[in-house]
Structure 1
Amino acid sequence: MSATKLYILDTNVLLHDPQCLYEFKEQDITIPMTVLEELDDIKDRKKNVAQEARYAIRAIDNILSTATSSTQITKGVQILLPGKDRDVKLGKLSIFPDHELTNRQGFLPNDKNKDNQIINCALHLQSTTTHRQVVLVTKDINMRLKALGAGLEKVEDYRTDQLVSDLDLLPAGHTHLDGTFWENVEQVKSYQEEGLTFHKVDRALIPDAYMNEYIFDDSKDFAARVVGISDTEITLRDLGFDHLMHQTCWGISPINIYQAFAMQSVLDPNIDLSILNGAAGSGKTLIALACALEMVIENQRYNKIIVTRSTPPVAEDIGFLPGTEEEKMTPWMSAIHDNLEAMHENDERPQSSVKYAIEKANIQFKSLNFIRGRSIQDAIVIIDEAQNLTPSQLKTIITRSGKGTKMICLGNLAQIDSNYLTPLTSGLTYIVERFKGFEGAANVHFEGIFRSRLAEYAEEHL
């Protein structure tokens, strides 16, 4: 089947998903020379996306390495799926020498603006390629607007890794049942195992249930977690509403049932990944940090706490800041310090208490570059501001989890700082959907804001 479309990829698409070259099926792809120059510029910098740039360059090289001449590279090289599926033929990949284009009527000003150069490449191909549709693919909203304004007929976002079409469809991690749970149950098989109580009920009671989803009702008595699903039955672990609400970690107790679910998921040794998402001021960081301190210092289940987060684009290169790596990360880890201070505000010497907690729990503030290539053992890893990470970046971090390590992912989809991520394409949304149903992961969406009445009003009305 011959290609009916020609896709032109922007740099940010390759950084967002370095494997995107294999996602366009039988359609052809061209990469402007400007994009290669941008990838080359990024790959050697100390940036969060430097590794993605290297991955993308290697993926391009793997495909183009079969070319026998430079002419073939400009015309197109057959894309073959890597590994066992190399017999599956996709479209062709080519490099377009857009640096040879000259300013002409209808083109955007070519004043060393990379976006303009890529758009001009698309405009040129649109005017010279009449037998198929030319499509510019970019994650940059402003670039899409500029391209449409310049006369490009087809501009798209890259949505191959977008798993949900609406945030309302994103799993909340908990389900509220109207009325009383036991009034709706006709048959139940209850049993105890290792001191825990379980109930097997008809799957029709909660038909859309998934693993580790929390269930509660209006009675403020029943609360459970889904721990098993078959064609006909659901197995619930009875948690007890009162028991959940009376949990205490490092002097912190949950204010509402959602914080209680989060605390239970973080403390449960059977949960390897806890995803906590919700509005600013809902208590995500406080709950995660309090549980981590309890498990490291009091229970001694882990050896250390590693805190990492995505740094803003203007400050990705932390090399220019003075001091050690941890001192360089301090400006972006202030949320952790703020919560530590809040937990010890009633102590006689709050600052000494905070210092003690950091030293005793061996809290380490690390950049994402530290996480790459490591196998982290016997640690709690708190990934803060996860909404600013791409699916590829979060995969890189989570796959670093070694024996005895627990990951806690925190984020607020309403506060994305990335230039080309949206709530639907954020890595946080991606892992919530991907880990739905995995027996070692739990997701809890926080409801309610407890920072202040000002913060609550701002979250609702601004």
Structure 2
Amino acid sequence: MEQDGRKLFVLDTNVLLHEPLAIYSFEEHDVVVPMTVLEELDQIKDRKRDVSRDARVAIRALEDAIGGLTTPEQIVNGVPLPSREGQTAASGKLAIFPDHQIDFTIGTLPGDNNDNRIINTALHLQKQYSPRSVVLVTKDINMRLKAKGAGMERVEDYRTDQLIDDIRFLTTGFYQYKGNFWEHLNRVSTARQGRNTVHEVPLKEMDETPLYVNQYLIDDESDFCGRVVDRDDEQVHILDLGRNRLLNQEAWGVKPKNIYQGMAMQALLDPDIDLVVLTGPAGCGKTLLTLAAALEMVVERNQYEKVIVTRSTPEIAESIGFLPGTEEEKMMPWLAAVTDTLEVLHKHDVNPSGSMNYIMEKANIQFKSINFMRGRSIQNSIVLLDECQNLTASQIKTMITRMGEGTKLICCGNLSQIDSNYLTAVTSGLTYIVERFKNFEGSANIYLNGVVRSRLAEYAEEHL
């Protein structure tokens, strides 16, 4: 490791579990993987959980990078990272550091656990290579605090897949104008396209509004509500939907209670939109609207053949096998929110339980574990991915790439209810797809503003 202007990044285990190919993410800078990290990966690789697969991929990536003819001295001093398809920016070196051989001086953390050993390694390298910048990279917040307290000058989170710095900047899927929308415009051209009315507005007339395809536009005063259907460097084409028309939509007996639910239902019922992402607080109607729209499109309109419901299930690989019944029966405890919603949709029927059984069969509703979706190709279906705020970007990518021809994917989640130890609102896979797909003409994203479950839930959301 030469003394030059390049940085030296020391990786924690959770970075390689979060992104197994993280060693290629530091461009011209050098990467150090302590021996303790390899020991932790070795312990994790054989577990019966999804994380074990990531550990095995990370181990193979390290082996491919080091090669078979390198000497122990070369591995400690660093070997150049090989060229890899899609990772052409990586031009630094990779080193495996034998931290068990370090004779730590007084003042470092006690080496009685793996986190302390990795921090001590970073402190040792910081002292050895000073004044070169040495950075400890970890997704463990407490470990970052410990490292700073122990004397590390640079400690960072792994942010390669982080598209925004503050959740407040996450796109909501709509833009609300103050006052009357039409008062902001000096020139507009309107045309009829079949049953639809489309307005063509010069881009410079939109007051620097950040516009993208399938973004909704509303205002405070008029009945206007539109959706951007196309845009270029000069013109924006807006489909006129109308606030009243959106509020008078109906799917399986459910009508929107506010304009945000109206925009969401319009996107859910549009067969030209392949991906719908619904975010918002608890009680805003995400699951209810999704199931109502799914039943409407499958049973009433015959646009799709079946409904597949899946969600993130913590520790499912270890605990699902001990539950009785088939895969769908094993999934029922985690999908109670969906069955509760089905009960709400049919509570006024003469025989609610009979109606539910009939609809479950008529709509071919299937409950599947996300762990068993890999390798499948789903055709002509509606797929509901619930509680996806706990999924990483790679897990959601796995789900999206399962979708075949004629399939609509609906992702629902609440970023304030993340349960994962290593995810935050800005690193969640839900945030990742909202930002990545906002310019995709086949997707729509709606933030359901407002709690409609009950006045108790609304008060709790605002004051707790």
User: Which range, TM-score by smaller chain?
Assistant: over 0.9
Unaligned runs of 5+ in 2: none
Contact 2:308-2:365 within 8 A present in 1 as well: yes
3-state secondary structure, aligned to 2:139: coil
1:97-129 CA distance string (max 9 Å, x none): 234456763343444x33233223223333333
Q: Deviations along 1:183-229, whole A, 9 cap, x unmatched? A: 43333222222422211112123232111100122345221100111
Shift of 1:59: 2.4
Q: How does 1:211-360 map to 2 (within 5 A)?
A: 211-312=213-314, 317-323=318-324, 324-360=326-362
- 1:34–1:117 Cα contact (<8 Å) kept: yes
Match of 2:154 in 1: 154
Contact map agreement 1:203 1:233 (CA 8 A) in 2: yes
Deviation at 1:90?
Answer: 1.3
Distance verdict in 2 for CA 1:329–1:193, change over 3 Å: same
Deviation at 1:134, TM superposition (A): 2.2
Match of 1:115 in 2: 115
2:24–2:87 contact (8 Å) kept in structure 1: no
Aligned in 2, Cα 1:98/1:359: closer, same or farther, shift over 3 Å?
farther
Q: Which amino acid aligns with 2:60?
A: R
Q: TM-score, normalised by structure 1?
A: 0.93
The CA distance in 2 between the partners of 1:158 and 1:20, in whole Å, is 9
The aligned counterpart of 2:430 is 428
User: 1:267-299: per-residue Cα shift (whole Å, max 9, x none)?
Assistant: 111111101000011011111111111112222
Does residue 204 (structure 1) correspond to residue 179 (structure 2)? The answer is no
TM-score of the aligned structures, taking structure 2 as reference length: 0.92
**Which deviates more from structure 2 when the two are superposed, residues 215-224 or residues 374-383?**
215-224
Secondary structure, counterpart of 1:450 in structure 2:
coil
Answer yes or no: is 1:44 the counterpart of 2:66: no
CA distance in 1 between partners of 2:151 and 2:370 (Å): 40
Contact 2:317 2:371 in 1 (8 A): no
Which range moved further: 64-73 or 224-233? Answer: 64-73
1:235-265 deviation line (CA, Å, top 9, x unaligned) = 0111122221111111111100111111111
User: Would the alpha carbon gap of residues 89 and 178 (structure 1) be closer, same or farther in structure 2, given more than 3 Å must change?
Assistant: closer
Indicate if the aligned counterparts of 1:171 and 1:433 stay in contact, CA closer than 8 A: yes
Structure 2 match to 1:64: 66
Provide the residue aligned with 1:410 in structure 2.
412
Counterpart residue type for residue 118 of structure 2: I
Contact kept in structure 1, 2:24 and 2:90, CA below 8 Å: no
Distance 1:445 1:333 in 2: 22
Distance 1:102 1:317, change over 3 A: farther
SS in structure 1 at match of 2:265 = helix
Query: Is residue 2:107 matched to residue 1:106?
Result: yes
CA contact under 8 A between 1:3 and 1:91: conserved in structure 2?
A: no
1:140 maps to 2:140: yes
Q: Tell whether 2:182 aligns with 1:182.
A: yes
Could you tell me which runs of 5 or more consecutive residues in structure 1 were left unpaired when the two chains were aligned: none
Query: Matched residues, percent identical?
Result: 56
Distance 1:128 1:288 in 2: 57
Deviation at 1:315, TM superposition (A): 5.1
Please say if residues 186 and 205 of structure 2, whose CA atoms lie closer than 8 Å, have aligned partners that are also in contact: no
Q: How many angstroms does 1:89 deviate by?
A: 5.4
DSSP 3-state at the match of 1:155: strand
Secondary structure (helix, strand or coil) at the match of 2:256 reads coil
Distance 2:253 2:50 in 1: 35
Map of 1:193 onto structure 2: 193
The verdict on how the C-alpha distance between 1:48 and 1:380 changes in structure 2, with shifts beyond 3 A counting, is farther
User: Does the Cα contact within 8 Å between 1:103 and 1:109 map onto a contact in 2?
Assistant: no
Stretch moving more, 121-130 or 271-280: 121-130
2:406 and 2:130 mapped to 1: Cα distance?
A: 58
- Determine the C-alpha separation between the residues in 2 that align with 1:387 and 1:81: 34
Q: 1:102 to 1:293 in 2, by over 3 A?
A: farther
Q: Residue 394 of structure 1 aligns to a residue in which SS?
A: helix
The 1:183–1:147 alpha-carbon spacing in structure 2 relative to 1, beyond 3 Å, is closer
Q: 1:48·1:368 contact (CA, 8 Å) conserved in 2?
A: no
TM superposition shift of 1:408:
0.7
Aligned-partner Cα distance in 2 for 1:352–1:236: 44
What corresponds to 2:126 in structure 1?
A: 126
Q: CA RMSD in A?
A: 2.2
Contact 2:26 2:90 survives alignment (8 Å)? no
Question: Which residue of structure 2 lines up, in the alignment, with residue 447 of structure 1?
Answer: 449
SS at 1:12's partner residue? helix
> How many correspondences in the alignment?
459
How far apart, in 1, do the equivalents of 2:45 and 2:300 lie?
Answer: 43
Deviations 1:152-187 (A, max 9, x none): 332111112211122222111111123333343333
User: Residue 65 of structure 2 aligns to a residue in which SS?
Assistant: helix
Distance across 1 between alignment mates of 2:129 and 2:66: 22
Judged with a 3 Å threshold, the aligned counterparts in structure 2 of structure 1 residues 215 and 376 are, in CA distance, closer, same or farther, namely same
